[in-house]
Amino acid sequence: MNLETKANAEPETTVQTGADVLVQALVEENVETIFGYPGGAVLPIYDALYRSEADFQHILTRHEQGAIHAAEGYARVRRKPGVVLATSGPGATNLVTGIADAMMDSLPLVVLTGQVATTVTGTDAFQEADIMGITTPITKHNYQVQSAYEIPKIIKEAFHIASTGRPGPVVVDIPKDISANPCFETDRSPFHLPGYKPTFKPNPLQIKKLSEALKKAEKPLILTGAGILHGGGSADLKEIVETFQIPVTSTLLGLGAFPGDHELFLGMAGMHGTYTSNMAITDCDLLINIGARFDDRLTGNLEHFAKNAVVAHIDIDPAEIGKNVPTDIPIVSDAGAALKEWKRQLKAGPENHQAWLDELQENKVAYPYWFNQPPKEMVAQWTIKKIYEATGGEAIVTTDVGQHQMWAAQYYKFSKPDKWVTSGGLGTMGFGFPAAIGCQLALPDEKVIALVGDGGFQMTLQELSMLQERHLPVKIVILNNQALGMVRQWQESFYEKRYSESIVACQPDFVKLAESYSIRGVKIETQEDFEKQIGELLDYEGPVLIDARVMQQENVFPMVSPGKGINDMVGVKPL
């Protein structure tokens, strides 16, 4: 336990408490890092952490939302459950946004919440909240501990459920008296979950059907989702794609599963995807969805989505198959396992889709992403391109939601797995900065860039404390357009330019704010200054905050308007 203020004279305990049992259970799960914030109902647990000699670190964030988003970032790149600890009532409810975010984006978390003592449960006791009832719809599973005896078994189950099958958050709610009282016996029997048996390996006959469909297809297309990253299937995917020359498009969260600079990659699909990708989905005769869930920002109006295609869907969650898009070849499996089996079965490649490849390549050349380029001022798209060039695509990039997120997806080419960490399904402002902290703690040797908007950054900026306190070299780039950019864009497009509460004229001095935390801050307003400084700033050994002043009027294009099919895009410009 790395508590810097740990006293020299430690209290001695001879009787194990429920909290001691919990800490030992976390040690047995090889927990390395806990993100949390103390409070009355979890003081027995924090006291047990203080007394423990366990070799893991507690990260004291400055808000519970910062803790859980940091745990999400940690889980995303470390590929193991992030662990969060918060007290009852407001401590627990401050975690709710992050729990929902992790559920939507299939991130494994074990969330430990304190609860009031069992003697006052149900009496509206101080800081009592029904976190079980609140989180049941947004967790993969949750527990309320009834006795310290069952803690080891519950913790083992929680980690198993969070990290197997479709990953997700599991809440373990622990009443204060159970963590504080002595515990003389614990349940060490192996856990048994007869109702929980995720299907890991695919049915070989279904993979055979997929192979046969590929042989017949003249216009095949692979859609990559985050399931490939969770399943570690990127290398097998690349081998299959290159062997059989299948074009690839991606969801927002699937970026990096296939190299973004590969000639067979068409770019992201969906509301702000490339024209080439959306037309490919519209015209393909075989759509192979690997590890994505066909969400509405990808599909647009379902009447127009892949209407001429045989649809194959590989997903470890059977509930996702056929939920939104009718599926002809359902394959319930871990994406990585399915790709291995598919690679094993494929003997000869189809040779009847060269005309399709030629058509797609012509579209890629003719309809690239575009933006207005002023002579001196910075626009966000240009800024992101320069960051990509400066990093060579090697950095981990985190974002919130909004314009900067879409521009990052469009202009930063993610060519390796696990370099892209964003809030996809829930679209959570305030996610990107604490998530970057979690990524940096998980992978200390990686360069981590939090690419955020000025609106989202102000929701969790108190976590600047963490950078200096933990000596984390995270680089924060605020794409500062003094507006809630995507809200402003939608008001411009669909509300006759009535910019109701989307222009944020009053802002802190971000440079002075960073300096108040003893962090280097730099404000940049021109292309010339940005190009001069970006290399040195990204190579700086410590944390840096860059207040990049970008033009407010820029919009994200191309775009599929709400209710339209993905073949009906606005803002498409031929080269």
Amino acid at 548: A
Question: What is the distance between the alpha carbons of residues 543 and 520, in angstroms, rounded to a whole number?
Answer: 7
For residue 48, is pLDDT > 50?
A: yes
**254 touches 292 (CB < 8 A):** yes
Share of the chain above pLDDT 90, in %: 94
Q: How confident is the model at residue 103 (pLDDT cuts 50, 70, 90)?
A: very high
For residues 398-421, average pLDDT: 97
- Residue 335: which of 251, 427, 225 has the closest Cα? 225
For residue 9, is pLDDT > 60?
A: no
Question: What is the distance between the alpha carbons of residues 397 and 399, in angstroms, rounded to a whole number?
Answer: 7
Looking at per-residue pLDDT, the higher value among 7 and 294 belongs to: 294
**The pLDDT of residue 1:** 45
Long-range contacts for 467-470 (Cβ within 8 Å, ≥24 apart)?
467/437, 467/517, 467/519, 467/543, 468/517, 468/518, 468/519, 468/543, 470/59, 470/437, 470/441
**396 touches 77 (CB < 8 A):** yes
Q: Please report where in the chains the tokens 């297309």 appear, as a residue.
A: 221
**The pLDDT of residue 346:** 82
For residue 6, is pLDDT > 90?
A: no
**The pLDDT of residue 441:** 98
Which residues make Cβ contacts (< 8 Å) with residue 6, sequence separation at least 6? 50
**The pLDDT of residue 488:** 97
**The pLDDT of residue 3:** 44
Domain 204-367 fold is Rossmann fold (3.40.50)
Helices then strands (H, E): number in the chain?
Answer: 23, 20
For residues 534-547, average pLDDT: 97
Beta bridge partners of 290: 224, 314
Instruction: For residue range 61-75, list pLDDT tens digits in order.
Output: 999 999 999 999 999
The radius of gyration computed from the CA coordinates of the chain, to the nearest angstrom, equals: 25
Cis peptide before 574 (omega within 30 of 0): no
For residues 145-159, average pLDDT: 97
Question: What is the distance between the alpha carbons of residues 316 and 333, in angstroms, rounded to a whole number?
Answer: 4
Amino acid at 186: T
**The pLDDT of residue 572:** 96
Question: What is the distance between the alpha carbons of residues 481 and 90, in angstroms, rounded to a whole number?
Answer: 33
Counted residue by residue, the chain has a size of 575
Question: What is the distance between the alpha carbons of residues 132 and 440, in angstroms, rounded to a whole number?
Answer: 31
Share of the chain above pLDDT 70, in %: 97
- Residue 87: which of 126, 127, 124 has the closest Cα? 127
- Residue 451: which of 554, 557, 538 has the closest Cα? 538
Q: Which two tokens stand for residue 68?
A: 């859980």
**The pLDDT of residue 325:** 97
**323 touches 299 (CB < 8 A):** no
Question: What is the distance between the alpha carbons of residues 252 and 274, in angstroms, rounded to a whole number?
Answer: 12
Long-range contacts for 488-496 (Cβ within 8 Å, ≥24 apart)?
488/552, 489/403, 489/555, 489/556, 492/555, 493/555, 493/559, 493/561, 494/561, 494/562
Q: How confident is the model at residue 55 (pLDDT cuts 50, 70, 90)?
A: confident
Residue range 18-180, CATH number: 3.40.50.970
DSSP string covering 159-194, please?
Answer: HHHHHSSS--EEEEEEEHHHHHSB------SPP--T
| Element at 357 (helix H, strand E) | helix 354-366
Question: What is the distance between the alpha carbons of residues 345 and 240, in angstroms, rounded to a whole number?
Answer: 11
Same fold, 18-180 and 204-367: yes
- Residue 114: which of 75, 86, 80, 143 has the closest Cα? 86
Which pTM value belongs to this model?
0.96
Q: What's the per-residue H, E or C state across 371-416? A: CCCCCCEECHHHHHHHHHHHHCCCCEEEECCCHHHHHHHHHCCCCC
Residue range 380-556, CATH number: 3.40.50.970
For residue 192, is pLDDT > 90?
A: no
Instruction: For residue range 297-347, list pLDDT tens digits in order.
Output: 999 999 999 999 999 999 999 999 999 999 999 999 999 999 999 999 987
3-state secondary structure of 314: strand
- Phi/psi at 288 (5° precision): -110, 100
Question: What is the distance between the alpha carbons of residues 81 and 178, in angstroms, rounded to a whole number?
Answer: 24
**The pLDDT of residue 349:** 58
Instruction: For residue range 11-21, list pLDDT tens digits in order.
Output: 555 689 999 99
Q: Which residues are catalytic?
A: 64, 126-127, 176, 486
**The pLDDT of residue 318:** 96
DSSP string covering 415-440, please?
Answer: -STT-EE---SS--TT-HHHHHHHHH
Q: Which two tokens stand for residue 466?
A: 């963490």
- Residue 531: which of 376, 398, 370, 372 has the closest Cα? 376
Question: What is the distance between the alpha carbons of residues 272 and 572, in angstroms, rounded to a whole number?
Answer: 11
- Phi/psi at 290 (5° precision): -115, 105
- Residue 278: which of 313, 251, 246, 244 has the closest Cα? 251
**The pLDDT of residue 44:** 98
Over the chain, what is the mean pLDDT? 95
DSSP string covering 260-300, please?
Answer: TT-TTEEEE-STT--HHHHHHHHH-SEEEEES----HHHHB
**The pLDDT of residue 12:** 52
Beta bridge partners of 310: 286
Domain boundaries, the chain: 18-180, 204-367, 380-556
3-state secondary structure of 501: coil
